[in-house]
Amino acid sequence: MSRKNSRKKLNVAVAGVTGAVGQEMLRVLEQRKFPVGQLLPLASRRSAGKRIRFKGKPVTVRELKKDSFAGIDIALFSAGGGISKQFAPAAADAGCVVVDNSSAFRMDKAVPLVVPEINPSDVAKHKGIIANPNCTTIVTLMALYPLHQVFGVKRIFAASYQAVSGSGAMGIVELDQQVKALTRGQKIKKSVYPHQIAFNALPHVDAFLDNGYTKEEMKMENEGRKIMHLPRFRASTTCVRIPVYRSHSIAVNAEFTKPVNLAAARRAIRRAPGIDLRDDVAKNIYPLALDIAGQDNCAVGRLRKDCALNNGLTFWVVGDQLLKGAALNAVQIAEQVAKL
């Protein structure tokens, strides 16, 4: 991308700009002072013509088309896998670098899958498209990778507790409507989830596979291997949707190849970027979804030796899935692209 090296400002497109993650992308671009020259907000035909605000100024949303990307340096995609498969290759062919938030290209061998705190050098291997990992995978690895660097991770057993906003805006609406209906003694309506989500926990995130796991659950192992460059990494995960608006929480039991030490584990977390240690059970201090919502950093607590695994550590990690799990990670990747 020689044109990028000749100027400071970069022309940036955001596809899916009217969605929850798209809106967060705009906010993060502005907050982190990304050197945006021209902003091109893109969405579906029905959203074209709407006005969004960026840096205090109104900008008109345009319809996403295959010829939308002339003169664009970086395109952030958050419009779903089908849209990404349809339009991301065209954007790359137009000469811009696509950072895609969907699952469309994550396991493509030619596409880097990047968490900048873990494998930033993989960005340079791109051929026009870079994939943003799954939100639950990102949050988990933010805590796991610093520990892996010290002890060498072998496998994990994990259970995620995922907010309804992970299902999009309608997940929030459905929870809100069900809570109101139940408190008024009215019958609830279900459309986003197969069962009542209010005051409930559903061990069902994404579609079920032949092996009994869901697609979401297998992402932890498959994406974790690619991001950490650990082809033998194993992860048995159960993903649960809970009635929380924002932030995903994951309980992790990790087994390592080397003997574990709590003091060394705490030091590893403290010096790692993007992760905070909140761990003082005597004062009831541990990460909470309510506290982490809206925060850039993930947080880890309840750190302890695992009593059922050799060389095992158990911990609780929480991250805002709209930020580090999506928009923030995408912008951080764009920042790495800008350095190339």
C-alpha distances in Å from residue 70, one per residue of 39, 94, 95, 264, 274: 13, 6, 8, 50, 34
β-partners of residue 193 are none
Helix 135-151 crosses helix 215-228 at what angle (to 10 degrees)? 40
Euclidean distance between CA atoms 101 and 111, whole angstroms: 13
Q: Which residues of 293-305 are buried (b: 16+ CB within 10 A; e: fewer)?
A: bebeebbbbebee
Catalytic site includes residue 126: no
Marked catalytic residue, from 96, 126, 239, 248:
248
Q: Has 135 been annotated as catalytic?
A: yes
Q: Contacts from 264-269 at CB under 8 Å and sequence distance 24+?
A: 264/150, 264/151, 265/147, 265/150, 265/151, 265/303, 265/313, 266/303, 268/146, 268/147, 268/149, 268/150, 269/143, 269/146, 269/147, 269/300, 269/303
Write the DSSP symbol of residue 166. G
Q: How far is CA 88 from the centre of its chain?
A: 19
Give the end-to-end CA distance of the chain in Å, rounded to a whole number.
8
Annotated active-site residue in 96, 126, 135, 239:
135
33: left (phi over 0), alpha (psi -120 to 50) or beta: left
List active site positions.
135, 248
